[in-house]
Amino acid sequence: MGILETIKDPLDLKNLAAGDLPELAMEIRDLLVSAVARTGGHLGPNLGVVELTIALHRVFDSPRDRILFDTGHQTYVHKMLTGRAGDFGTLRQEGGLSGYPSQAESEHDVIENSHASTALSYADGLAKAFTLRGETDRTAVAVIGDGALTGGMAWEALNNIAARKDLPLIIVVNDNGRSYSPTIGGLASHLSTLRMTQRYEQALELVKNNLGRVPVVGAPLYETLHGVKKGLKDIFTPQVMFEDLGLKYVGPIDGHDEPAVEAALRRARAYRGPVIVHVLTHKGHGYAHAENHDEDCFHSPQPFDVETGEERARPHSWTNVFSEEMVKIGAQREDVVAITAAMLHPVGLAAFADAYPQRIYDVGIAEQHALTSAAGLALGGLHPVVAIYATFLNRAFDQLLMDVALHRLPVTVVLDRAGVTGDDGPSHNGMWDLSMLQVIPGLSIAVPRDAVRLRELLAESVAVEGGPSVVRFPKGALPREIEAVGHLGGMDVLRAGDPDVLLVAVGPMADICMDAATLLDAQGISATVVDPRWAKPLDEALVLAAAAHKLVVVVEDGGRSGGVGDAVARMLRDADVDVPVRTYGIPQRFLDHAKRQKILAEIGLTGQDLAREITEAVAKRSPVLERHPARQPQ
C-alpha cells in the first residue's frame, strides 16, 4: 500500500513523519499524470502545488480553518489529501469528481469557483466573521496564483484586508510566473522570522514613541532607522509592493521545499494578523513533458500519452475557425486589433499574435479592464476584437453596457465556450450571455450555426461601426454545415414547410431543429426551419413568418429566461401577432459536469425531445392530428 492510500483525512497527513513526505509527493504526481492523461484537465498548475498543498494541510486544520483556492483549478492535490484520492480516476466524468472545488463533494471545499481573483474577498469576509464571533482559533487561508493577482477584484480585497490588522488571514501567493528568484540563506530566513514576531513590532513601536519625544532629531532619526531596516529587507525580498499596503510579508519561499513552506506558514499563522506568504512554484514540476511544454506547461491538456506527452488529436473546432478568420481579417484591415484576458491560446488568438505582434494585447485576468481598454482603442480609431470565454463576460457586463455601448463604440466581443460546455462544471457553462445582452441598447448579437456562418458573421460583425457587436459559439467540434434553401429578410430558411410550425433555430441549435423537423413529418406536422443569424436585433421578417404559422418554437443554447425566445415573444406581442410561442433552452439552474451532448439530452435539447413536445403542443390546438395514422395505437 502506498502512502497516499492511507490518507483519508488531513489528520492522517499531520501524523506522517517528515521523511515520508517526498514519497507522498511522488505518489501524488504519479496519480495526477496518470489520471489527467485519461480524462484531460488542469495538469500543470496542480503538479506545481504538490508540496504547497501538503504543507497547507499539515499546518492548518481544515475544515475548521478555511482554505480557499484561487483559481479553483489548482485543487486536485487538495482533493486527494481530503479523502478523494480513490475516486480520482472519475475526474471530470459524469457523476465523478469535479475539476473544481465542490461543496457537494467535501466539507473541505469552501467555494465552487473557477472565476479568478475572488478568493481574497471571500477570505476577508470569513476572517471578519471569525473575529466578530470570537472564534480565535480559526484562520482563513487564501491561495491565490496562476495569474489571479492580475484581476482588479483581488487588489480591492488587498486594500481592505490591509486596513484590518486583527484579521486571522493568510494570503499564499503561488507565484509560478518565475518573476522572482528564490531568496535563500540564513539572514533572509532570520529577517522573515523577525518580521513575524509581535516582539519586533512592539520594539519598533517603543523606539518610535521614545524617539518622538526627542526635539528636532527624534522623528527624522526614526524614519532613517526604519528606512535602513526596510532597505536591508528589500535587498533580499521583493516585498515592497505588499508592505507598502501595510501587509506583513514572508518570502519568497521555494514552493517545492515542503519543510520551508511549512515553516513559513507556521510563522504566518502564529502572527494572528494578515500575512502574505510568497511561494515560488513551477508549473508542471516533476513531469518533464509538462515542464518542457513551451505553450503553457500542460495547463489544461486533452487526454495524452504518458510516455510521450503527446495529446490526443483534437477535431477542427469553432475556435480553430475563428483563429483562421481573424488572421485573414487582420490582413484586410490594419485597424483591427485583438484583446485577450490571459487566454491567448485557448480563445484562438495565438495565430493573430504571431502574424501581427503589435496589434495584440493580453491584459491578464482582467475582463473588466479588457472591455474598457477596448473602448479606449475604439475611441482612438481602431476596431478591437475582445475574445473571452462566454462565462467570463458576466464580469464585464457593466463595462460593455456603460463604457462601450453608451458611447456607441465599434467593439466586437467574441464569446468562445458559449452555451453548455460540459466537463468544466457549473461555473463554466456560458449560458447567461444571451439573457444579459438583450438589455444593452445598440448591441448586435450574431450566433453562427456552422463554420461557414462563423466566417460570414465575424466579417459582418467587425464591419459594424455604430455600436458594439457580439459573436458567440460553443466549445468543441464543428457541426455539419447546413446550407440555406431560401431567405426571409436577413434570415436563412433551412427548411421550407406548410404553415404548421415555425422553428426558429438559434445558431448551433440548427442541426437539432432539422432533426426535429424530419421527425415531425412522420407525425403529419410540417415545420419551417429558419436561422435568424443575428439574434439581436431580430429581423422584422420574423413577424410576417410567425403570423403565417400556427405555432412558433424558439430553440436556443442559452438560458430560457430573458433569452432569444423571450425577445421573439415580445416582438410578436408588440406587432399584435397572436400566435403561441414556445421556448426551449437551458433551464435557469447550475448544471452538473458531464459531456455536452449528455447535458443537452438531459435538459431536452435533442431532435427527438423537441419533436415529441411540439407534436403534443400542436395536437392541443388541432384535434384532427389526434386522428392521424401515426398517432394511433398499434
- Say if residue 146 carries a ligand binding annotation: yes
- Say if residue 115 carries a ligand binding annotation: yes
- Say if residue 278 carries a ligand binding annotation: no
Which of these is catalytic: 27, 51, 105, 367? 367
How do 444-446 and 275-280 pair as beta strands?
unpaired
Q: Report how far apart, in Å, the C-alpha atoms of 161 and of each of 190, 241, 476, 504 are.
A: 26, 14, 41, 51
Neighbours of 507 (CB within 10 A): 31
Neighbours of 615 (CB within 10 A): 22
- Say if residue 428 carries a ligand binding annotation: no
Residue with cell 479588457: 370
Q: Is the previous residue joined to 537 through a cis bond, with omega within 30 degrees of 0? A: yes
Extract the C-alpha cell encoding 216: 528636532
Q: Report how far apart, in Å, the C-alpha atoms of 256 and of each of 26, 260, 348, 573 are.
A: 12, 9, 33, 64
Give the side-chain half-sphere CA count within 13 A for 557: 32
Residue with cell 528589500: 234
The verdict on whether 367 is a catalytic residue reads yes
Integer Cα distance of 101 and 78 in angstroms: 9
Which of these is catalytic: 395, 417, 472, 536? 395
Q: Are 336 and 329 in contact (CB under 8 A)?
A: yes
Residue with cell 518580521: 195
Instruction: Summarize the chain as % helix, strand, coil (round to 5).
Output: 45, 15, 40
Q: Are 82 and 583 in contact (CB under 8 A)?
A: no
**Residue 600 DSSP SS3:** helix
Q: Are 479 and 508 in contact (CB under 8 A)?
A: yes
- Report CA 575 to chain centroid distance, whole Å: 40
Integer Cα distance of 416 and 429 in angstroms: 11
The verdict on whether 481 is a catalytic residue reads no
Strand partners, 584: 555
- Say if residue 179 carries a ligand binding annotation: no
Which of these is catalytic: 283, 449, 453, 536? 283
Strand partners, 23: none
Extract the C-alpha cell encoding 155: 487588489
- How would you write 391-416 as a 3-class SS string? HHHHHHHHHHHHHHHCCCCCCEEEEE
- Say if residue 46 carries a ligand binding annotation: no
Integer Cα distance of 383 and 412 in angstroms: 8
Q: Report how far apart, in Å, the C-alpha atoms of 141 and of each of 68, 269, 422 are.
A: 6, 9, 30
Integer Cα distance of 481 and 459 in angstroms: 18
In terms of Cα–Cα distance, which of 227, 230, 242, 245 is closest to 172? 242
Residue with cell 504566518: 268
- Say if residue 226 carries a ligand binding annotation: no
- Say if residue 122 carries a ligand binding annotation: no
- Say if residue 292 carries a ligand binding annotation: no
Integer Cα distance of 198 and 201 in angstroms: 5
Q: Residues of 281-302 as b/e, b for ≥16 C-beta within 10 angstroms? A: bbbbbbbebbbebeebbbbbbe
Q: Are 573 and 605 in contact (CB under 8 A)?
A: no
- How would you write 560-576 as a 3-class SS string? CCCCHHHHHHHHHHHCC
DSSP letter at 365?
S
- Say if residue 176 carries a ligand binding annotation: yes
The verdict on whether 205 is a catalytic residue reads no
Residue numbers belonging to the annotated binding site: 73, 114-116, 146-148, 176, 287, 367
Residue numbers belonging to the annotated binding site for Mg(2+): 146, 176
Residue numbers belonging to the annotated binding site for thiamine diphosphate: 73, 114-116, 147-148, 176, 287, 367
Positions marked active-site: 283, 367, 395
